[in-house]
């Protein structure tokens, strides 16, 4: 590692000592950029890395709303506008009780490179609140969203910053957020937020996009290995929107997802989630707000493993692993089990689902192929960017058109990551390749625009 890179890493650690998740992603990304920084001594003079790790803007605000008992409640809202060098800031909003600045900064930093990888003109941002919609009434969620947007609206716009959903922010929340924005600005500027409902500027395929995109990316990996998805058994975690998209596309392509997980444990369905009934039941489970995956085991009579994660299954049961739930879902002990199982494909889907030591360990396994989330899950934000295009054209594209674009974007992300790693003599290293390809685009744009 070059002296410059080391110095920036140390300084970032010292400056953000109380932000562990943020430091985790900075360390992961910067470490894999070592050969690029070595090849570009001109970056040091203009403090490119120092500027890249520092968000352009952090907005933190109070959100006051009234609950159903007439009691006023106060939450904290965030928007981190990380890097706008290649387009309007773009990234989701997460509503979950554990949201804090470290989490939003980690997600915003990742988003910057992810958005660059899509090849579409979008910068990186993330936002959210420590408000948890689970267990709240519809009216409470609406009042919260209205209060949140009443502060956020002055910082966003179709050419400025375009939020979307993330965990805890689905179609319902996006609808309330947009409604309040429209009410405040007095104009139908629906390009200000994506993931909207179809009647007011949503894009076909957006709900499926992250999951579909992940499977399209997986397909490119399998192709590279002269392999195919036909008959493959896939273990995933989570059972939300992303998991649903994966399950649907995998079933369509002749593979089968055999696990789902929730905060309560995981289910194992040897027949796979391949029927319409099972796939539709995922939506029901999510909409129930119970947040329990055991419901699936009870309904379909399959085994449920309380308090466990689906990472202990052997290669007699599973061919591909796709962690799709949340950050730091796979720790070193799970990574060791996965490596020992002989399973070849480890395809990250959720943002930073693997701890850094676990990721390092998995990358050392010669029999395994590891794909990073910032590439694999980029289909969601890519279709969001296509939603922005449709909004500015005041048109709605057909599902086939959006899907075809999504597929080619995912292929491109895979190929450009593979090529970037190859260029630096790293072989088929999709993790380093994604970091390098994303970084290079943002770096080029920043270098061209002068120092500020
Ligand atoms: N939250 C999703 C992501 O992290 C979607 C963001 C978007 O569509 O802007 O990529």
> What are the pLDDT digits (tens) for 167-223?
999 999 999 999 999 999 999 999 999 999 999 999 999 999 999 999 999 999 999
Q: Is 91 in the pocket of ligand 1 (CB under 6 A)?
A: yes
* pLDDT, position 1: 84
Q: Is 194 in the pocket of ligand 1 (CB under 6 A)?
A: yes
| Structure-model confidence comparison of residues 288 and 306, the more confident one | 306
Alpha helix positions (H), 258-355: 276-287, 294-300, 332-341
Of the listed ranges 118-122, 285-289, 387-391, 440-444, the least confidently predicted one is 285-289
Locate the ligand 1 atom nearest the alpha carbon of residue 165 and give its number: 1
pLDDT tens-digit readout, 210-228: 999 999 999 999 999 999 9
- With b for 16 or more beta-carbon neighbours within 10 A and e for fewer, the 95-111 pattern comes to bbeebebbbbbbbbbbb
The answer to whether residue 126 is catalytic is: yes
Across 421-434, average pLDDT:
98
Annotated catalytic residue within 90, 105, 114, 126:
126
Instruction: Tell me the HSE value of 36 on the side-chain side, using a 13 A CA sphere.
Output: 24
**pTM of the prediction?**
0.98
- What is the bridge-based pairing of β-strands 123-129 and 89-95? parallel
What is the C-alpha separation between 270 and 317, in angstroms, rounded?
A: 8
Q: Is 118 in the pocket of ligand 1 (CB under 6 A)?
A: no
The alpha carbon of 90 and the centre of ligand 1 are apart by a number of angstroms equal to: 7
Percentage of the chain surpassing pLDDT 90? 99
Q: Is pLDDT above 90 for 121?
A: yes
The alpha carbon of 188 and the centre of ligand 1 are apart by a number of angstroms equal to: 22
Phi (first) and psi of residue 214, to 5 degrees = -60, -40
Q: How many CB atoms lie within 10 A of CB 302?
A: 18
């Amino acid at each position: 590692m070059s002296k410059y890179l080391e110095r920036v890493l140390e300084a970032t650690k010292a400056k953000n000592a109380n932000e562990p998740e943020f430091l985790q992603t900075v360390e992961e990304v910067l470490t894999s950029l070592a050969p690029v920084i070595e090849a570009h001594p001109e970056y040091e003079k203009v403090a490119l890395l120092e500027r890249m790790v520092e968000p352009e803007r952090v907005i933190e605000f109070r959100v006051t709303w009234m609950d159903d008992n007439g009691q006023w409640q106060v939450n904290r809202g965030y928007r981190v506008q990380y890097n706008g060098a290649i387009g309007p800031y773009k990234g989701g909003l997460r509503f979950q009780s554990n949201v804090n600045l470290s989490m939003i900064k980690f997600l915003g930093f990742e988003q910057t490179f992810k958005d660059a990888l899509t090849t579409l003109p979008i910068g990186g941002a993330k936002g959210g609140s420590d408000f948890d919609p689970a267990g709240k009434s519809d009216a409470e969620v609406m009042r919260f969203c209205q209060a949140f947007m009443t502060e956020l609206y002055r910082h966003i716009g179709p050419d400025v910053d375009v939020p979307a959903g993330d965990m805890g922010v689905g179609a319902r929340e996006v609808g309330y957020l947009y409604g309040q924005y429209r009410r405040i600005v007095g104009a139908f500027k629906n390009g200000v937020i994506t993931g909207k409902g179809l009647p007011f500027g949503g894009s076909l395929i957006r709900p499926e996009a992250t999951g579909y995109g992940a499977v399209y990316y997986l397909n490119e990996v399998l192709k590279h290995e002269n392999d195919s998805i036909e008959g493959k058994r896939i273990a995933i975690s989570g059972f939300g929107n992303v998991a649903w998209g994966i399950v649907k596309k995998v079933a369509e392509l002749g593979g089968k997802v055999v696990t789902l997980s929730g905060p309560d444990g995981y289910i194992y369905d040897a027949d796979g989630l391949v029927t319409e009934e099972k796939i539709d039941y995922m939506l029901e489970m999510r909409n129930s707000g119970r947040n329990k995956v055991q419901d699936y085991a009870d309904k379909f009579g399959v085994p449920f493993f309380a308090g466990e994660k689906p990472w202990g299954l052997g290669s007699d049961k599973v061919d591909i692993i796709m962690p799709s739930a949340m950050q730091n879902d796979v720790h070193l002990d799970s990574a060791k089990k996965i490596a020992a199982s002989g399973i070849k494909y480890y395809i990250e889907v959720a943002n930073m689902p693997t701890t850094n030591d676990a990721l390092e360990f998995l990358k050392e396994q010669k029999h395994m192929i590891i794909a990073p989330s910032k590439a694999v899950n980029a289909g969601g934000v890519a279709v969001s960017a296509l939603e922005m295009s449709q909004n500015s054209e005041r048109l709605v594209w057909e599902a086939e058109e959006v899907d075809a674009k999504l597929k080619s974007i995912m292929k491109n992300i895979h190929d450009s990551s593979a090529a970037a790693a190859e260029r630096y003599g790293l072989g088929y290293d999709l993790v380093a390749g994604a970091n390098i390809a994303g970084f290079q685009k943002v770096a080029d744009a920043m270098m061209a625009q002068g120092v500020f």
